[in-house]
Amino acid sequence: MLASILISAVSVILLVYWFRYTCLILLRQQSEQPVNTPQARLGLLHAEEQVSNEPELDPLHQTLERDYRLLTYLLQHAGGVGTPSIEDRLLKLDYLLMRAWYRLTRSVAPQCARRALMERAAVVDCLARKMGSHARLQPEM
């Protein structure tokens, strides 16, 4: 009985570690690629500066929420994008988990909330890059 509980706990810990490591690798990999999208309309253009300089994080949180909803809608309804890859699904799950982490830590641990916002901004940036690369591949009419 104790061995089963111990094995289950270790398995869950390793799954969480794998998930976080995979998401961080995907985000790092996407950030190294050249920017193909005009991201001026998105609120994440200066997200890193805003997170480090702004005392109030809720406006950035709301901007990221708006951008995330917009990009996920576009990716779901854009013709020819196809089904989302496992990487996209992992990043979307990471975004949702970081949103929950932000809500839990924004008043108790503001530094953790800032890191969660930065990771969410990186996920939105990855989705914007994917949408931009898809739009660039489409023939002009």
Blockwise average pLDDT, block size 10, the chain, 141 residues: 94 95 89 56 56 74 89 77 79 93 91 90 85 59 42
CB atoms inside a 10 Å sphere around CB 96:
13
User: How far apart are alpha carbons 112 and 104 in whole angstroms?
Assistant: 10
What global pTM score does this model have? 0.78
Q: What is the pLDDT of residue 98?
A: 93
Q: Which two tokens stand for residue 35?
A: 């920017």
User: How far apart are alpha carbons 76 and 80 in whole angstroms?
Assistant: 10
State which amino acid sits at residue 19.
Answer: F
Q: What is the pLDDT of residue 38?
A: 47
Which one, of 33, 54, 128, 12, lies nearest residue 62 by Cα? 54
User: How far apart are alpha carbons 21 and 79 in whole angstroms?
Assistant: 32
